[in-house]
Structure formats: structure tokens, C-alpha cells
Amino acid sequence: MNLHSKDFGKDFIWGVSSSAYQTEGAHDVDLKGFSIWDEFSNQKKKIAKNHNGNVACHFYHHYSDDLKLMQSMGIKNFRFSISWARILPNGHGVVNLKGVDFYNRLINHCLELGITPWITLYHWDLPLELEKKGGWTNRDIVRWFTEYVSVCVKSFGDRVKNWMVLNEPLVFTGAGYFLGIHAPGKKGLSNFLAAVHHVTLCQAEGARVIRNLLPDANIGTTFSSSHVDPYTNSEKDIEAARKVDVLLNRLFIEPALGMSYPFKKMPLINRIEKYMKADDEKLLVFDFDFIGVQNYTREVVKHSLFTPFFKASIVKAEKRNVPLTAMNWEIYPEGIYHVLKLYNEYPGIKKIYITENGAAFHDEPVNGKVNDLKRINFYKGYLQQVLRAKQEGVKVEGYFSWSFTDNFEWAEGYSPRFGLVYVDFENQQRIIKESAYWFKNFLTVPHKVTKPHSVW
């Protein structure tokens, strides 16, 4: 069946996603402060091949050409993030007008080209100065974060209606404060739980700042989400899968909806109470206009006695004889259908956008072309499942592909390529991949065929 954007209805929002650290480069220009990612990725052996984001896609200098390319592909919505340390080099206090100016130029250029900007306020690049004071483990971050949000909304809110408070809180707290494989490289349950609570507070407090300053804003926040299946039908595996589902999909949304942390389903995180003050439960709640669901794969989980805390472990996709992307993530289109259903079941969620979905493959230009058929098939398969959910009444109203260009893929460096547009990181040349042409075609509204006048 030939899928077309019009099948999703005329008001459905289509766009592409990116983030500041993964694309901007220019890590030390125009008075920008360093972020935890500047520091982490410039250490040895933290990132594959010792890559870093110092230059990335040079988006800071290249944004105008990239936006024109985006426009030529028929893309009308662009989700990008703001680098906190460009705006407030110390995390709080003095505002860097050159940083504000960059985002003003970026936003204005989007609008000139008919592209609607969607801002993510926090996509993982915490100002390093704040990390020196404990970062997300320090409750003062609520003050720092709300100050930052307020500067952004006052600077850009006259032109930007769509705001996302956080990008994937579980990933940046889990990888950055529990496993230590992302910046700032901290480990352990105490760091993790303190960070989780302060992040969840900021999720709601940041949203309240936007609401107060911009009552008509469309306010959301985004979550990483993966459908979870048990490895076997044994009770132990089913129980392990349930715990992992709580952790991966429900930990940050339930307190925002007024359901508190999912304690009962997972007693271990009870320990988070240590970081909570008397009225915190209420402060965690915010009535978001939308939830951004980000999905790539599914997880298969089995009981594991030796895994500390969770007693559950993920059965790697490489061991399951399933189709894989270059990240070794299983290609599992039905997964996006299931996570849409999962979020749709919460009565408090009003509207869902897929704010990230896409795949990395080993793309190589041949005679100036990148023929990424696998990516086209990935998009077709996943979009079909989004449509299936929509047709069953799920309130999904938009879809953003990850990502517009290839970029810096965190701990994996530049090898995994997620873009619709290929980037040659040696010379910053762009090549429009076949998947981008496919996407353009998918988005293009067919002209109405009018009957030709009869000619005498």
C-alpha cells in the first residue's frame, strides 16, 4: 500500500528533530559557556573513536543553508533545542546576548522560510558550572532551571508557540547519573534518584514558567519509550518485563499526571522519598498540552537474579535473530503502535506527538548519492503503525523524524548516521539521501486534478 501524509488528515503536524549539542558545534565561540558534554566528550575513551561535538555539523554557522534545504524538502516544522550555556554561560546570572542573538536569527529565519520552530529547552547539555555544584543532584537546580526557562520564554516567546521542557529524562538521568556512560559520567542509585526527583520537579516547574509568561503556548515534554515484551511466558519474566516497563515508560509521566511516582509497582524507587519535601507531590503535577513520545525499538526482558536492584535484564537484540539498525536496535514497527496505545490510556494526556523516530544505517555516498533503502522501509513500516493507532482513535497529532542531518550520536560519536541528509564531517558537505526524497514525496500534497475545459 502506498502511504501518504494526507492519510493522517490535513491538520497532522510533520517535521524533523535535532538538538543543540549534536549539531551546532561552535562550542567555544561568542562567549558560550562549556556544558557537561563539552567536558565529557573531550576526555579520552568516553566516546567511540574519541569523537566530540566541538564542530559537529557546524549548524551554528550553517543554519541558513540547512534551513533552506529543509524548506526545499517541504518540511514545515523544525524541533531543535537551546544550549543553556550559550544563553547563560554560568548556568544562571549574566545573560549572553550573543547566544540570544543566535537563536533569534535561527527562529527568524525559520519563520521567513515558512518553517514553524518547536523548542526543546533541555536536550542534555547542562552548563558545566552547574554540574560543579552537583548538577541535577542539587535541588537548587529548580531555581537555576526556572531562571533559564524564563530568559528563553521572554526572549523568544513573541515568535515561538511550541515548547518542550525536557528531552527524555530517563535517558539523561539513567545514562548520565546511574550508568556513567553519558555526561556527566556519575554513577549509582543515590545520584540517580536525586537527579530523577529534581528533574521531575523541573519538568513541572519549567512548564509553569512557560504557562505564566505565555498563556497561549502549546506546552509539552518528551519521553523515551519502548514497548517491553517478556522473553518467555514464565511468571518471573513477565514480572521482570513489568518492572522494566515502569522504569522505561512510566517513571516521569505518572507524577506529572498527579499519580505520584509509580512506587507500588516498583518498591525500589521508594528511596526517592529521601529527596522529597512535604509538598513536592503537588509540585510534580502539570497539565501538559501534549506529550512527546520518542520511539526507536522495543525491549525484550528476562528475570535475572544477579542484576542489582531490578532483578531484570534486557535480552540484546543481536542475540534474538531480528532485523537491526546500525545501533544494534531491533527494527520493530509494531512497537510504536504499542507505546502510542500505552500513553493514550492515561486519561490526563490530551495530545501526543511523536517527537522522535528514525534509524541509523551505514550510509555511504556512491557517485554523489546515498541510496538508503533500509531507512525508507523503516519509515514506511513505523508510519504505517502510527496510522493504525490513529485510526483506532489514539490522539496522535504529529510526527517528527530523527533526524534532519547526520549528527553527533552521543557516546557512539559520528559513526551511526540517523539523518535524512548525509553530512560529510570532513568538509561539511550535505547530500540529500534517497529517504529525504521519499519523505518529500510523502509530504507533498497532490494537486487536485481538475477536468480540462473542452476545447472547440
Q: Interaction with ligand FCB in 148-167: which residues (CB under 6 A)?
A: 167
Q: Which of 142, 171, 349, 431 forms a contact with ligand FCB (CB under 6 A)?
A: 171
Q: Counting contacts by CB under 6 A, is residue 120 touching ligand FCB?
A: no
Q: Interaction with ligand FCB in 279-298: which residues (CB under 6 A)?
A: 294
Ranked by CB distance to ligand FCB, the top (closest) residue is 168
Q: Interaction with ligand FCB in 408-447: which residues (CB under 6 A)?
A: 409-410, 418
Question: Smallest gap, in angstroms, from Cβ of residue 342 to ligand FCB?
Answer: 18
From the candidates 129, 131, 168, 205, give the one annotated as an active-site residue: 168
Please confirm, yes or no, whether 409 is among the known catalytic residues: no
Cβ nearer to ligand FCB, comparing 70 with 100:
70
From the candidates 24, 299, 330, 356, give the one annotated as an active-site residue: 356
Cβ nearer to ligand FCB, comparing 237 with 409:
409
Cβ nearer to ligand FCB, comparing 178 with 418:
418
Cβ nearer to ligand FCB, comparing 214 with 421:
421
Q: Counting contacts by CB under 6 A, is residue 356 touching ligand FCB?
A: yes
Q: Which of 60, 402, 404, 422 forms a contact with ligand FCB (CB under 6 A)?
A: 402
Q: Which of 35, 224, 325, 405 forms a contact with ligand FCB (CB under 6 A)?
A: 224
Question: Smallest gap, in angstroms, from Cβ of residue 225 to ligand FCB?
Answer: 10
Cβ nearer to ligand FCB, comparing 80 with 144:
80
Q: Counting contacts by CB under 6 A, is residue 78 touching ligand FCB?
A: no
Q: Interaction with ligand FCB in 7-46: which residues (CB under 6 A)?
A: 19, 22
Contact pattern from residue 235 through residue 274 relative to ligand FCB, giving x for each residue in contact according to CB under 6 A and a dash for the rest = ----------------------------------------
Please confirm, yes or no, whether 356 is among the known catalytic residues: yes
Q: What is the 3-state secondary structure (H, E, C) of the chain?
A: CCCCHHHHCCCCEEEEECCHHHHCCCCCCCCCCCEHHHHHHCCCCCCHHHCCCCCCCCHHHHHHHHHHHHHHCCCCEEEEECCHHHHCCCCCCCCCHHHHHHHHHHHHHHHHCCCEEEEEEECCCCEHHHHCCCHHHCCCHHHHHHHHHHHHHHHHCCCCCEEEEECCHHHHHHHHHHECCCCCCCECHHHHHHHHHHHHHHHHHHHHHHHHHCCCCEEEEEEECCEEEECCCCHHHHHHHHHHHHHHHHCCHHHHCCCCCCCCCCHHHHHHHHHCCCCHHHHCCCCCCEEEEECCCEEEEEECCCCCCCCEEECCHHHHCCCECCCCCECCCHHHHHHHHHHHCCCCCCCEEEEECCCCECCCCECCECCCHHHHHHHHHHHHHHHHHHHCCCCEEEEEEECCECCCCHHHCCCCECCCEEEECCCCEEEECHHHHHHHHHHCCCCCCCCCCCCC
Q: Just list the catalytic residues.
A: 168, 356
Where along the sequence are the contacts to ligand FCB (CB under 6 A)? 19, 22, 167-168, 171, 224, 294, 356, 402, 409-410, 418
